[in-house]
Each structure stands twice: as C-alpha cells, then as structure tokens.
Amino acid sequence: MSERALKQLVGALAIVVAISLVVYAFSGGSGSIGASGAIAGVFEGVTPTTLESIEIGQSGSTVTLVRSGDTWTANGFAADAPVVSRLLDELAVSTVGDLAATNPANHARMGVVPDSAIDLTFTAAGRERRLLVGKSGRRFGTAYVRLPDENDVYLLESDLRGQIARDLDGWRDRTMVAIDTAAVARLEVVRAGLTYSLERGDSSWTFAGGGETRASAVNGMLAELSRLVATGFFAEGDSIAQLPLAATTRAYDEAGAVLVEITIGGGDGDRWARNGQDDYVYRVSSFRAGRVAPSREDAAPPS
C-alpha cells in the first residue's frame, strides 16, 4: 500500500471514530448494555391477572386505578374497561432494554426528571414497583425510563407511555346509559314545553294516539339508549352548565316503569346531560343529543 493510500485510510478511520463519538455523546450511551439490577426485574411476574393497583402521576395530578374483583375504578369512579385492559396487556409485555444514559445531565433531555416524567407505581403479585417514564425513545414503541433513586436511564421496549398519558376523564367509563332496548315499550320526549310519545307496535312504532313515525329517528333513539357514550364529564366552571334544560327523554317498559330518564341542556356544541340513575353530569355531543331527543317534526315521516 502506498503512503498516500495509507494516509487516506487513516483519515477515513479517524472520521468514523469521530462520528461514533458524536453519536455516543448525543445518545447518552452505547445502547449495547442490557438492563441490570433492580430495573431488570421490574416487570417480573406482571400479568393482567396479577396486577392489583396502578398509580399514575403527571402534571401535578394523580390517577389511581384499583382492581375490585373483575372490575377497576379510577379515583373511585368506574373505569373504562377496554382502556384499562389495554394498559394491563401493555404492562404484561413490557421489558426494559438497553442502557441509554448514565449521566444525570441527560435526564431532562430524556424527560425522566420528576417534574416532567410520568411517575408510575404499580403493584403486581404482591410487590410494588415504581418507574419514572420519560419521552419516547429513539425507536417507535419505546420510551426512556429510570428508577427514581438511580441515575441510569434505559430504553423501555413497550408502548406503555402511550397507554398511561391520559387525564382522569380518559380513564373513566363514559358510558352514560346502557339499557336493553328490547324492553322499551314507550318513548316520551319533552322539548320546549311540548310532549310527544312513541309506542311500540307489533311491527313498527307509532305516535301515541296514532300516526306514523320516521323509522330512522326511532332507531337512532334506541341505538343511543342501548349505549350512550359521553364525550366527557362536567368540569368545575364549565360554561355549558349554565345553559337551560332543553329536552327530556324517558323510556318506559310495558308495565309503565321508567327504564331511564335523560335530561339534556341547550346549546349548539357539546351539551350537559344527566342520567336520572346517577349523580354525574356528562358532556354529550350535539349529534347524540339530537338522536336521543329528536323534535316531533324529526320523529315524523317527511311531508
């Protein structure tokens, strides 16, 4: 090899080494050292059936999920079962991967400082575990994590961060009404002081006293009563709470007992709504509000 070629090779190697050092410095670690110590076993024994409680602290608030038999609560409220189920499944498949950083100077950049991280504490198989979950990692479906009393930051192999980054409303069951509509024999709607009723016949619904109904409107009412999902819950100072009552819908069974009563506020956007069977104030979209309590004109066939 000529002297010139040797110099070119040495120069190329020097560039490669320099680039590697830069990458190492900005990544906070080599990414080739696996998890060790307490963090390596933080998900040991975690399955959907062994998880007992989960506490999630972020942005100055805390959501506590607690198992009670086969159901979960979120800060004492009924929890959204599918949302909790996805979290349980994600915790069960989570693993702590490569070492990402050892220097505390990298903590803020990776989002694992106490004032920005999601503080996750969960109990499974009788053992409490705690992690600080930071920003998303270098690859999709990963995040930076560390133990609160250790400086080492690792890459979490999981979409756990995406599952826990919710406020309390995101954990609560937003199902406002869920009844067996096959038991509904009569529907009553009150709007603007006027009342009309719909009665179930052998093959169709009619207005009380006679008159055809619009099948799509009745089907819409029944569909919402079978499972009416709110957009959220009343918040302190929510302006929609000041809007007046606009409509009331009641569903009766054949014996004349009220199966459900829904009251809905006025407005053009989200409305406040109540189910007479609980004490919560919900937010429902104007679209769902219109289906739950259509005007008499909308419940009748087109002219």
- Please state the domain count of the chain: 2
What CA–CA distance (Å, rounded) separates 52 from 129?
12
- Distances in Å between the alpha carbon of 151 and those of 11, 22, 287? 37, 21, 51
Give me the domain span that covers residue 282: 175-299
Q: Is residue 230 part of a domain?
A: yes
Q: Are residue 37 and residue 152 in the same domain, yes or no?
A: yes
pLDDT of 174 reads: 95
- The last residue of one of the domains, among 149, 171, 193, is 171
- 76-104 per-residue burial string, b: 16 or more CB within 10 A, e: under 16: eebbbeebbeebbebbbebebbbbbbeee
Q: What is the pLDDT of residues 242-289, one digit of tens each?
A: 889 999 999 999 999 999 999 999 988 899 999 998 889 999 999 999
pLDDT of 32 reads: 57
pLDDT of 9 reads: 56
* Regions of the chain with pLDDT less than 50: 10, 16-31
Q: Are residue 36 and residue 160 in the same domain, yes or no?
A: yes
Contact 252, 225 (CB under 8 A): no
What CA–CA distance (Å, rounded) separates 75 from 62?
9
Q: Are residue 209 and residue 269 in the same domain, yes or no?
A: yes
pLDDT of 107 reads: 97
Q: Is residue 228 part of a domain?
A: yes
Q: Are residue 227 and residue 100 in the same domain, yes or no?
A: no
- The last residue of one of the domains, among 129, 148, 171, is 171
pLDDT of 3 reads: 63
Q: Are residue 263 and residue 165 in the same domain, yes or no?
A: no
- 178-204 per-residue burial string, b: 16 or more CB within 10 A, e: under 16: ebebeebbbbbbbbeeeebebbbeeee
pLDDT of 23 reads: 41
Q: Are residue 125 and residue 198 in the same domain, yes or no?
A: no
Q: Are residue 209 and residue 161 in the same domain, yes or no?
A: no
Q: Is residue 181 part of a domain?
A: yes
- The last residue of one of the domains, among 171, 186, 221, is 171
pLDDT of 15 reads: 54
Percent helix / strand / coil, the chain, rounded to 5:
30, 35, 35
pLDDT of 18 reads: 46
Q: Is residue 20 part of a domain?
A: no
pLDDT of 26 reads: 44
CATH number, domain of 205, equals 2.60.40
Q: Is residue 75 part of a domain?
A: yes
